[in-house]
Amino acid sequence: GAGVSQSPSNKVTEKGKDVELRCDPISGHTALYWYRQSLGQGLEFLIYFQGNSAPDKSGLPSDRFSAERTGGSVSTLTIQRTQQEDSAVYLCASSLGNGSPETQYFGPGTRLLVL
């Protein structure tokens, strides 16, 4: 079946602009995660959605970062007033959400470059 999809695959933006990154999880998965993969920082957790519960935002690096998940499916990660240090690959993952620990299935990522 279809895996996790992310769009766009690549995004180049100018410093100070806002960007939106999209994630389509695997159908039926109620848990959704965002991670960031950057040189020097490795893979970092950003935010976690589980069903209708309040999201775990503990990994968001600043208030310029936000995410929402509409209808329990598609998620959008928004970065406002982008900075060069935001350049990274943003990975989305989803899981069934019915137990712990769960296997997280990752999308191919969005490569963001802030000039």
Partner 1 sequence: AQSVTQLGSHVSVSEGALVLLRCNYSSSVPPYLFWYVQYPNKGLQLLLKYTSAATLVKGINGFEAEFKKSETSFHLTKPSAHMSDAAEYFCAVSPGGGNKLVFGAGTILRVKS
What is the contact surface with partner 1 in residues (CB under 8 A)? 3-4, 31, 33, 35, 42-45, 48, 50, 56, 58-59, 91, 93, 95, 100-109
Judging by DSSP bridges, how do beta strands 75-79 and 88-95 pair with one another?
A: unpaired
Taking the complex as a whole, the smallest distance from the CB of residue 5 to partner 1 amounts, in Å, to 10
- Nearer Cβ to partner 1, position 1 or 101? 101
Taking the complex as a whole, the smallest distance from the CB of residue 34 to partner 1 amounts, in Å, to 11
Taking the complex as a whole, the smallest distance from the CB of residue 61 to partner 1 amounts, in Å, to 15
Positive/negative CA dihedral, 107, 1, 95, 63: positive
Q: Which of 11, 8, 36 is nearest to 106 (CA)?
A: 36
C-alpha 11: how far from its chain's center? 14
Facing residues of 67 across strands?
Answer: 77
- Nearer Cβ to partner 1, position 76 or 105? 105
Burial of 77 (0-12, 13-18, 19+ CB in 10 A): buried
Taking the complex as a whole, the smallest distance from the CB of residue 113 to partner 1 amounts, in Å, to 15
- Nearer Cβ to partner 1, position 42 or 71? 42
- Nearer Cβ to partner 1, position 82 or 109? 109
